[in-house]
Amino acid sequence: MTTRGILLASAAALGMALPAIAETADKTIALSNNYAGNSWRQAMLTSWEKITGQAVADGVVAAADAFTTAENQATEQAAQIQNMILQGYDAIVLNAASPTALNGAVKEACDAGITVVSFDGIVTEPCAWRIAVDFKEMGRSQLEYLAGVMPDGGNLLEIRGLAGVFVDDEISAGIHAGADQFPQFKIAGSVHGDWAQDVAQKAVAGILPSLPEIAGVVTQGGDGYGAAQAFAAAGRPVPVIVMGNREDELKWWKEQKDASGYTTMSVSIAPGVSTLAFWVAQQILDGQEVPKDLVVPFLRIDQDNLEANLATTQAGGVANVEYSLEDAQKVIAGAK
C-alpha cells in the first residue's frame, strides 16, 4: 500500500479527517517575475527558492522554476509567459509588470489549461487568481501614523517606487488619499526612488534644494535609508521617515533611536508572499476549491518591536514572513 493509502486507512480507522494530501507530484510550476533590481525582489526570489526547493525535494511537485525578465517591460513578460505555455507548465505564478497589459498572455495560458496565480503585481484577467495586499491602505496608513506623532502637520516629501507599475500607483494613491484625510499635511515634492536606496538617495538629493522644511517623508520601501543619507549630506534636519522593512533602514532607525530617541514606523508587504502564491497554485492543482481573490496583510514594524524584527532580518535583506501549506490553507479558508 502507498503512503497515501496507509494514511487514509489509518485516518478512516480512527474516524479522523485528513487535510488534502497532494496529488501534484508530477506537476510543474513556474514563477514569472518582471523585476529583480532591489532587495525586496531578491528576498522574494530567495524565499521562493527556499520553500519550493524543499517542496520539490519532498515530492510535492516535480519542478518550481523561477524566471525574471531582463527589463521591466510588459511586452517582454508576455513573451516569457508564452514561452512557459510552450514549455508545458501546469501553473504559472506571476508577479506582473501591469495589471492589464499581460491579460492577453494570461488568457492564452488559461485557455491552454494552465493555472495562473498573480501576487503583489496582480492581473485583472478573470481566469487568473489574485493574492493582493491593500496597497492603498498601506499608503494611507502612513499619513495616519504621521498625524498621530505630528498633529500640527507639515510639509511632506513623497518617494515613489518604479514608474508605471501598478503597486507604485496604488501606494501613491493611498498616500494622497491620506493627505486629503489629514489636510494639515502638504506633499511638497515627489520623486521616484525605484524601491532602491541608491536611486532614492540621488533623487532626494536632487530635489532637496528646491524644497521647504520637510517634516516627514512618505515612502514605498527600499528608499528610507537613502532618503536619510541625502538629508544628512545636505546638512538638513532628518525628518520622520517612514521605513519599508529593509535591513539597512531598520539598522539606521535602531542607531538613531538609541542615540536620540528617533521615532518612526516601517511597513511593507513580506517578500515571502511568493511562497504563499506557490502553495495556492499547488492547492488549485490538487483540486481544492480556491476563491479567485485572496488578501494578505502587510507587515508593519513599530517602535516597540523594532529590535525583535531587526534581529531576525538578514543583513542586506528585508523583514520577512514565509508561508507553509498550512498557512495557505488558512488564507484560503478565510476567504470562503
- For cell 503512503, the residue is 3
Residue 11 lies in a domain: no
**CA–CA distance, 27 with 274 (Å, rounded to integer):** 18
> End of a domain among 247, 268, 289?
268
Whether residues 252 and 274 share a domain: the answer is no
Whether residues 49 and 69 share a domain: the answer is yes
Whether residues 120 and 85 share a domain: the answer is yes
Residue 187 lies in a domain: yes
Whether residues 203 and 281 share a domain: the answer is no
Whether residues 253 and 274 share a domain: the answer is no
Residue 315 lies in a domain: no
Of the chain, the percentage scoring pLDDT greater than 70 comes to: 93
Report the candidate in 261, 274, 275 with the shortest Cα–Cα distance to residue 325: 275
Whether residues 153 and 178 share a domain: the answer is yes
Average pLDDT of the segment spanning 216-236? 97
Residue 33 lies in a domain: yes
CATH number at residue 94: 3.40.50.2300
Residue 30 lies in a domain: yes
Whether residues 103 and 140 share a domain: the answer is no
**CA–CA distance, 44 with 320 (Å, rounded to integer):** 9
**CA–CA distance, 47 with 43 (Å, rounded to integer):** 6
Let me know: does 52 contact 64? Beta carbons within 8 Å.
Answer: yes
Whether residues 275 and 128 share a domain: the answer is yes
Q: Is the pLDDT of residue 149 over 90?
A: yes
Average pLDDT value over all residues in the chain:
92
Report the candidate in 90, 94, 96, 17 with the shortest Cα–Cα distance to residue 60: 90
Task: Provide the whole-model pTM.
Answer: 0.82
DSSP 8-state class, residue 55: H
User: 20 or 324, which is more confident?
Assistant: 324
Amino acid 115: pLDDT? 98
Q: Is the pLDDT of residue 3 over 50?
A: no
User: Which residues, other chains included, contact 112 with Cβ-Cβ below 8 Å and sequence gap of 6+?
Assistant: 85
Let me know: does 64 contact 22? Beta carbons within 8 Å.
Answer: no
- Determine which of 69-73, 119-123, 307-311 has the lowest per-residue pLDDT on average: 69-73
> End of a domain among 268, 284, 308?
268
Let me know: does 330 contact 323? Beta carbons within 8 Å.
Answer: no
Amino acid 15: pLDDT? 41
- For cell 507639515, the residue is 154
Whether residues 210 and 327 share a domain: the answer is no
Amino acid 22: pLDDT? 58
Tens digits of residue pLDDT in 252-302: 999 999 999 999 999 999 999 999 999 999 999 999 999 999 999 889 999
Which residues span the domain enclosing 256? 135-268
- For cell 514561452, the residue is 83
Let me know: does 114 contact 91? Beta carbons within 8 Å.
Answer: yes
**CA–CA distance, 176 with 139 (Å, rounded to integer):** 8
Residue 310 lies in a domain: no
What is the count of structural domains for the chain? 2
Whether residues 68 and 118 share a domain: the answer is yes
Q: Report the run of H or E that residue 255 belongs to, with start and end.
A: helix 247-260
Residue 58 lies in a domain: yes
Report the candidate in 237, 275, 244, 309 with the shortest Cα–Cα distance to residue 95: 275
**CA–CA distance, 267 with 224 (Å, rounded to integer):** 11
CA 199 from chain centre, in angstroms, equals 19
Backbone angles phi, psi at 156, to 5 degrees: -120, 150
Taking residue 236's Cβ as centre, other Cβ atoms within 10 Å add up to 14
Whether residues 187 and 277 share a domain: the answer is no
Let me know: does 298 contact 133? Beta carbons within 8 Å.
Answer: yes
Confidence band for 133, pLDDT divided at 50, 70 and 90 = confident
Of the chain, the percentage scoring pLDDT greater than 90 comes to: 86
Q: Which amino acid is at 229?
A: Q
Taking residue 111's Cβ as centre, other Cβ atoms within 10 Å add up to 10
Confidence band for 37, pLDDT divided at 50, 70 and 90 = confident
- Determine which of 12-16, 70-74, 109-113, 277-281 has the lowest per-residue pLDDT on average: 12-16
**CA–CA distance, 45 with 31 (Å, rounded to integer):** 9
Whether residues 54 and 167 share a domain: the answer is no
